[in-house]
A and B are shown apart, each in its own frame.
Chain A
């Protein structure tokens, strides 16, 4: 057996966290450097994984499997063209989060970094687990560190938000646990690869699909169970918001691809109208809500709900463009929303206000910041030349193939997206500098500048040149859709 590269990706942050646990908490620089070092090493490993990853194959690669609970569950991990991108997103965002703690986290820095590193372990685990129980463990385990991140280091209403986050997500996922156990008894295994081959009896699929959906819908979040997200985002510290928006939301989108659609094709086809309707509501309704927000973080949170609405729309078109667009949109949103939350964090650290009305005219005091924020806003509204455009464009193309009306309504969402993002930018950056406190603001420091520049460059670079991503996932998506159609056709043949 080769070197267990995936397991080491999963374990390394935890080992780092364990190491941090034994460092004296007064040694702040030591703590920061250790955690940064660990997360950067992890990023490099994941890049190496990407380089040696065979893009021409749709098989799961680097698969590791060993007995975990005897006669019951195997520990099985591996990556394919879809999941590897999410792993890279995770390992890319985490070091940036760790860099950003300099200014935003004042107390209990050590515990915070331990929580972030544990989060990284769990998130990577979610994206590469090939067993339903292992997936559930990683998926649910994320609740503990995130609850603490929001609750300990959050803003004023942190307790309310942390509880809401915890209970909403837990309620959603217990039903998934029942579904996972049911699958074990129906199909005799929880191994995802085996399940793809065996298929699940169509008569159970609708209920199982709904059970998985209840968990993913809360986590995505889809309308009407999205209400925890604005609260959680607003109260979480910057790094927490970034992790939440950039990666945690993607776990559900990834779950839709890997499990909902992959395991239950018949049910997925059956529920397409349902998904389309609530995705459209999410896109239009939350965009309108976002327009009326006076809190910057809340506005971005609602925009996340709208963007994830696009993702679910794209995934459930079952067209090459739609699914690829959904995946690309998730990666793009991961980078863009992370960047936006970092940007809000930058001004929040200086003024301790997130209210849009407290700002205005920032361009005259923080020119560098204003330019970078421009890039992120444009990326979020999907201007051609940014990553946001490619995702939304592909999704709409896929949707047009499926239904003209849905695509037209979804396109309205793009316009609304432009409206609220540009209006936000106008109110924050342009206009007269009325608030005297803003005069004293200092432009970005080196760390902030490097985080934001890195994100801006990747938004523009992959906006013009998306091939590194699309090459990675296209074979897997193609095979994924072929299998989907095969299963659906054989089911339809049986029923005729």
Chain B
């Protein structure tokens, strides 16, 4: 029974999903109700999750599932951001005719998958969580089914993701074969001597995970899928699976394979440098904002991975701070995208921002803050995110990684300030609508304020993270 008590967040979510499905089936025109209700469910889930926060780590179901401060924190972050994402995309979903009963239910099931992933302490549990998350996301990507781009992106995501899942599963089987267990703790005990089979297994699993967080060279799907999916789904892609997958990176690498740090460090450094540089260079030529943010998120994942490649608690903590700041910036960025609409038509090209500052001074002001922060210019939050990462990187004297990373921020700065140029220096166009929902406005204002004034007291976010000890 105690086992069940500690996973009551997951149980609550599963029951709510079933309940919502039943309502959807038996009650007509209940889409809006289900959407709003699932927002509330996320909040309740959050409350349950925070309430559960155990004093010391808890291992459940024969050590295949674990709850500690770290997982609770990450789960809370996932639940909060899912809530914010659903809140800010409400109008978009309504106006683009994708508000079906399945839509919020699919989001909830992918969230459930993520929660399982985050807590998993066993290869099989982890794989089940990953697939639950991915399957829901395949459908969401193709949710606008009469739109060719959306169907294409769903199919593309499905095929490539299935391939990567296959590799991942193969990696899991190799690890099982050479360490004769699927449990992270047992693998740790059994794999004292370094065997090539296990290293191969680790690499295959990392490939699968790198695919989920769009690290180079497994990023090819991201721009097309980001661009093709409805914006309300793109924002989910840009934030939620990355948090979950990066957490699994941490649990997986620093759990069973901590002793093999020297073996996998090079892989992570390679992924990190590739993502930082490629993301910065490839975004320069983009004409669509969603493609641009796809490349930008590739580059940001590179920075988060740089923190993981260090092999210290500080590195991990700083990666998580990076992730939190990244998700605040991204939610704010997508809020701006949701505001670029005229008569129920949404715009997502760079040129649509032209002269925005004349017609919409406040919107373009917050957009500017977000973009400078994404570029990592002090004193905005994005700078601190990078600063912490590089502090951890340089502590281990990894100067090459630090220099490449910082030079790639200079390249990346170019396309961010190009957007600012378009907004502030170019000719103005027609006005956009002003009738946005209160929730959308609130989220934009609050998140850009956080980005702006984070420097006054950085400890507020850092304190959450400073308790995390993985190693």
A contact set with B: CB distance below 8 Å: 68-70, 133, 136-137, 140-141, 143-144, 147-148, 151-152, 158-159, 162-163, 166-167, 170-171, 174-175, 177-178, 181-182, 184-185
Contacts and interface: CB of A to CB of B under 8 A. Distances in A.
B425 interface: yes
Contact of B425 (A151, A167, A174, A182): A151
B394 interface: yes
A398 to B, nearest CB: 35
Contact of A140 (B377, B391, B421): B377
A148 B372 CA distance: 12
A136 B378 contact: yes
A177 B387 contact: yes
A141 B414 contact: no
Contacts of A148: 424
B427 interface: no
Nearest to A163: B417
Contacts of A182: 394, 399
B417 A181 contact: no
Interface stretch (B126-134, B174-182, B455-463): B455-463
B390 A177 contact: yes
Contact of A177 (B406, B425, B458, B466): B406
Nearest to A152: B424
Given A170-B410, A178-B402, A182-B394, A141 B458 contact: no
Given A137-B455, A174-B407, A159 B395 contact: no
B409 A174 contact: yes
Contact of B462 (A70, A144, A185): A70
Give the top 5 A-B pairs by smallest Cβ distance, nearest first. A174-B406, A137-B378, A181-B394, A140-B378, A171-B410
B424 A151 contact: yes
Interface in B388-425: 390-391, 394-395, 399, 402-403, 406-407, 409-410, 413-414, 417, 420-421, 424-425
B379 interface: yes
Contact of A178 (B394, B417, B424, B459): B394
Contact of B406 (A70, A136, A158, A178): A178
A162 B421 contact: yes
Given A140-B378, A181-B394, A185-B395, A167 B410 contact: yes
A270 B399 CA distance: 23
Contacts of A141: 377-379
- Chain A CB within 10 A, most for which of B410, B459, B466: B410
18 contacts: A69-B458, A69-B459, A70-B459, A70-B462, A70-B463, A70-B466, A148-B424, A152-B424, A152-B425, A158-B425, A163-B417, A166-B413, A167-B410, A175-B406, A177-B387, A178-B399, A178-B406, A181-B394
Contacts of B459: 69-70
Interface of B: 372, 377-379, 383, 387, 390-391, 394-395, 399, 402-403, 406-407, 409-410, 413-414, 417, 420-421, 424-425, 455, 458-459, 462-463, 466
Contacts of A162: 421, 425
B400 to A, nearest CB: 11
Given A69-B458, A151-B421, A152-B424, 16 more contacts: A136-B378, A137-B378, A137-B383, A137-B455, A148-B424, A158-B425, A163-B414, A166-B413, A167-B414, A178-B394, A178-B402, A181-B394, A181-B402, A182-B399, A185-B394, A185-B395
B181 to A, nearest CB: 39
A121 to B, nearest CB: 10
B369 to A, nearest CB: 9
A163 B379 contact: no
Contacts of A174: 406-407, 409-410
Contacts of B466: 70
A143 B376 CA distance: 12
Contact of B379 (A70, A137, A175): A137
A68 B403 CA distance: 26
Contacts of B413: 166-167, 170
B421 A159 contact: yes
Contacts of B409: 170, 174
Nearest to A110: B361
Contacts of B395: 185
B390 A68 contact: no
A177 B403 CA distance: 10
A177 B399 CA distance: 12
A456 to B, nearest CB: 35
A318 B152 CA distance: 68
A167 B417 CA distance: 10
A330 to B, nearest CB: 24
A178 B394 CA distance: 8
Contacts of A68: 458
B417 A147 contact: yes
Contacts of A167: 410, 413-414
A163 B410 CA distance: 11
A178 B403 contact: yes
B462 A69 contact: yes
A48 B247 CA distance: 55
A69 B454 CA distance: 11
- Chain B CB within 10 A, most for which of A70, A140, A148, A178: A178
